[in-house]
Amino acid sequence: MNADLFNFVAGLADDRLVLGHRLSEWCGHAPILEEDIALANIALDLIGQAQNFLKLAGDIEGAGRNEDQLAYFRDPAQFLNLQLVEQPNGDFAFTIARQAIFDCWSVYLLEALSSSSHQELAALCVRAAKEDRYHWKHSSTWVQRLGDGTAESHQRMQSAFDALWSFTPELFQATAAQQKLVAAGLIPNLSSLESQWRKAMNELLEMATLKVPTVGAAAGRPARSQHTAHLAPMLSEMQGLARAFPGAAW
């Protein structure tokens, strides 16, 4: 059971570590100053959440690995994040679409996990859910503004959702580990997440005058088991310093 809980919590962490790192790539490059600050703040929240979840995962594993060892010394194949979050930033619309898809799902997920019987996991999720509500407000506001904006911004927003939609089935694919944890009462049943997410996304896209893309075929592989070609180069940059100088400190 510990291995299953480790995988689940490490998955929560890896989603946030990878997405936080992607958002940090915008620092100094965002279209306006407020956005530069906003994306960096969201990155900071997500990396902080990742740190806390990885620390918890390390404690659950009980093999003496701390959050830094888990972040910097696992290879791409051992990362348990969704493919959605490792996709490169693209243009601003692409980053915002990726974020809105994630934020909406993450708020529902973390709020459900806030009632986990695992007290520390529940407490981390209460805090993170509040942070992610602010992220969702931010990303959904931009989706409306750009979708219902100029012909150019509308087209870019639509293209971004069209390109990212095939990564959404993985969000709702329950892993075998997850099902065992539900059976053991460690995490609540997450089966209602998909309908909640679909309803909220449909409402948002409609308000933004965007079309809901047709759903891509469900992935024919276990969730969180494979990565696209984009993860490894990102991790090699993120992990380079820690691996070149093990134990390096500020």
Q: Which residues bind other proteins (CB under 8 A)?
A: 34, 37-38, 41-42, 44-49, 51-52, 119-120, 122-124, 126-128, 130-131, 133-134, 137-138
Cα dihedral sign, 153-157-158-160: positive
Output the smallest distance, CB 95 to other proteins, in A.
15
- Coil vs helix vs strand at 232: helix
Residue placing its CB nearer to other proteins in the complex, 102 or 167? 102
Output the smallest distance, CB 102 to other proteins, in A.
16
- For residue 139 the two structure tokens come to 């990303």
Residue placing its CB nearer to other proteins in the complex, 98 or 138? 138
- For residue 182 the two structure tokens come to 């539900």
Output the smallest distance, CB 218 to other proteins, in A.
32
SS3 for 136-157, per residue?
HHHHHHHHHHHHCCCHHHHHHH
Torsion of CA 4, 10, 12, 13, to 10 degrees: 170
Output the smallest distance, CB 150 to other proteins, in A.
22
Residue placing its CB nearer to other proteins in the complex, 35 or 162? 35
Secondary structure (DSSP) of 164-224: HGGGSGGGG---HHHHHHHHTTSS---TTHHHHHHHHHHHHHHHTT-PPPPPPPPPSS-TT
Cα dihedral sign, 155-36-111-183: positive
Residue placing its CB nearer to other proteins in the complex, 49 or 81? 49
Distance CA 218, CA 169 (A): 6
Residue placing its CB nearer to other proteins in the complex, 126 or 215? 126
Residue placing its CB nearer to other proteins in the complex, 120 or 162? 120
Output the smallest distance, CB 40 to other proteins, in A.
8
Residue 52, classified by CB atoms within 10 Å of its CB into exposed (0-12), middle (13-18) or buried (19+), is: buried
Output the smallest distance, CB 199 to other proteins, in A.
15
